[in-house]
Chains A and B, each alone.
Chain A
């Protein structure tokens, strides 16, 4: 019964609470994405993630062919604090594999 009250979803932040200690996907500003395990968050969407993989997407335009080259740079960080003002969205991970 206690868990019923705890998981009463009243507002969007409660949806994030359901993902605590789960892997999530975070879209950030500047074409960055994070996938990691959510350990903590607050109402500003400051977050602490564990085992994080960051993907930075850059688009380069070839001078001659005007072809768009999409490059992604990945790196992993064991434990990361993310400031909330850069967060666009939070979601369960979109598993393509």
Chain B
């Protein structure tokens, strides 16, 4: 019985798992190393599907901005259109801003529409990304 050594099998434990996967006769996903090298883009794809929906972006400085999702990129930078600040009295400095670009790293939460997405699809995509990675 051949033991398939993945490129991440630096320890005995990894070898043991590769051995088990051979027994199960199901092709193991490509090696751990390859999995990390590929850009994993689950949430990027998710947000692309959400373009055109109303979302509320809460930033790390507690500012919450409601607007229509215009576009998103791989860093999860967000462009919002038709924006309004949620608590206008507390944060008056963006009263006249209607479109904005938000750097992904300053986002704390994005409140999504409850019917935002097919939950089963999310679960499947997550399992696929998580497996072997």
Binding site for B on A (CB under 8 A): 1-2, 4-6, 8, 10, 13-14, 16-17, 20-21, 39-43, 46, 48, 50, 77-83, 85-86
Contact = CB atoms under 8 A, between A and B. Distances in A.
Contacts of B125: 40
A77 B57 CA distance: 13
Contacts of A86: 60, 108
Interface stretch (B80-88, B89-97, B116-124): B116-124
Interface of B: 13-14, 17, 20-21, 24, 26, 40, 42-43, 46, 60, 76, 104-105, 107-114, 116, 119, 122-123, 125-127, 129-131, 133
23 contacts: A1-B26, A5-B20, A5-B21, A6-B131, A8-B17, A10-B17, A17-B127, A20-B126, A21-B123, A39-B123, A40-B123, A40-B125, A43-B133, A46-B43, A48-B43, A48-B46, A48-B112, A50-B119, A77-B111, A80-B111, A83-B104, A83-B108, A83-B109
Interface centre among A5, A13, A14, A17, by most chain B C-beta atoms within 10 angstroms, is A5
Nearest to A5: B24
Given A6-B127, A39-B119, A48-B122, A80 B24 contact: no
Given A39-B122, A42-B42, A79 B130 contact: no
B42 A40 contact: yes
Closest 3 CB pairs of A and B: A81-B110, A78-B114, A79-B112
B130 A5 contact: no
A42 B47 CA distance: 14
Contact of B43 (A14, A17, A40, A77): A40
A79 B123 contact: no
Given A4-B24, A13-B133, A50-B119, 9 more contacts: A5-B20, A39-B122, A39-B126, A40-B46, A40-B125, A41-B130, A77-B109, A77-B111, A83-B108
